[in-house]
Amino acid sequence: MAEQFGEKVHEATEHRLHEAQKEGQVPKSSDLSSAIVLVIATGLLLFAGESGIQAVAPYLTEHLGGEAWVATNSEQVLNHWVRLVWIVLWVTVPVSLILAVSSIASQISQTGFLFLPKKLSPDWNRVDPIAGFGRLFSLQSAARVSFGLFKILLVIIVAGASLWGESEEFLDMIGWTVPEIGVYTVQTVLGTSFKVAIALLILALADYGFQFWKTHQDLRMTEQEVREELKHLIGDPQIIRRRRQVQQQMARSRITNNVRHADAIITNPTELAIAIKYDPAKMPAPIVVAKGAGTMAQRIRRLALEHHIPIVERKELAQALYRDVDINQEVPVDQYNAVAEVLRYVYQLQGKSLPKMPQRKAG
């Protein structure tokens, strides 16, 4: 029934996930990167902002708290601006680099390294007013609006709870000095912002988890899709089966032809069968034209009986030839004399004149 109605009952394969990634269809939360950057930014200001203030304070004290100065010397003005730029860079560049690296790392951690040239080409469906109207009032658009409203509500709740916890301190500010009020206000604002950022980060992680689940649900596969992918990757199973049958048939035909022209079959006596052929006019030594074990050995012996090829039982020789010699390969030197003896015996049985066998010695 699942196959009939096209239900997606299989998890996405690695190939399907890889293809989806190349198309940009990966789990991603647009809020996660922003939340991470916001947490890091407010955290730096909250826990490391004092060092930045200490770096800027002497300059501000010198130029705002001291005597007014008017410089007509261009060199003094240039030195003033160089010092100002250096202080600003000293404070802002490290923070900017940290935030930039954090933003890039958060994006890569979600999607990996993606190069999507297709996304650069214009998509005319995006400028279709009818399609745009449909997207505007779609279920997905409504979900995004609802999620945005929920984020606003969450920010209000977290910020309100944080400020409510400072209500007693607010009442005590009446007797504070202006610097104390300024320091407390900055710390309260940064502390509240950091709590809001943490809440948004938790919400963004939940959104990423949902996007991860939804993406994998969308990429689930039907029975038909799994079969089509297998056909694409390894070919049609029927074609593969037919190709294997043809290869087996060709192998059987080749064995049949080789055994039919063999001079002798050396056996073990039932487990192994090796077909030997020797033509002194064309071959420097006997060669193995076919060999097999088990069912293949039985087939070779059956073919030998059908074509009246002598079968000689030599257990140790059959084992050595099957182990050491490939088809269409010459008999090695250490088995040459034993094979020559078998051929001499076969020729005597058939009443044929024994061909002259060259003498070969091991080593």
Determine whether 276 is exposed, middle or buried from the number of CB atoms within 10 Å of its CB (0-12, 13-18, 19+). buried
Q: Judge whether 209 and 37 are in contact, CB under 8 Å.
A: no
Strands 287-293 and 272-277, bridge-based pairing: antiparallel
**Which residue type does 175 have?**
G
Sequence-ordered list of residues with C-beta below 8 angstroms from that of 64, at least 6 positions apart, any chain: none
DSSP letter string over 101-151? HHHHHHHHHHH-S---GGGGS--GGGG-HHHHHHHHTSHHHHHHHHHHHHH
If you average pLDDT over every residue of the chain, what do you get? 77
* DSSP reduced 3-state for 360: coil
CA–CA separation, 124 and 116 (whole Å): 18
Stretch 111-140: mean pLDDT: 58
Q: What is the mean pLDDT of residues 224-250?
A: 70
Please state the φ and ψ torsions of residue 266, each to the nearest 5 degrees.
-100, 125
Contact 216, 41 (CB under 8 A): no
The Cα 329–Cα 315 span in angstroms is 20
| DSSP code for 352 | P
Banded model confidence at residue 130, pLDDT cuts 50, 70, 90: low
Show the tokens assigned to 18: 């890889």
Integer Cα distance of 45 and 53 in angstroms = 10
Q: How long is the chain? A: 363
CB-based burial of residue 171 (10 Å sphere; 0-12 exposed, 13-18 middle, 19+ buried)? Answer: exposed
Lowest mean pLDDT among 16-20, 23-27, 95-99, 123-127: 123-127
Q: What does the pLDDT average to over 265-271?
A: 84
- The pLDDT assigned to 4 comes to 44
pLDDT exceeding 70 applies to what percent of the chain?
Answer: 75
Write out pLDDT tens, residues 39-60: 888 888 877 766 666 666 666 6
Tokens of 319: 């084992």
Beta-carbon-side half-sphere exposure of residue 356 (alpha carbons within 13 Å):
3
Structural domains of the chain, ranges and CATH numbers in brackets: 14-112+125-231 (no CATH), 240-350 (3.40.1690.10)
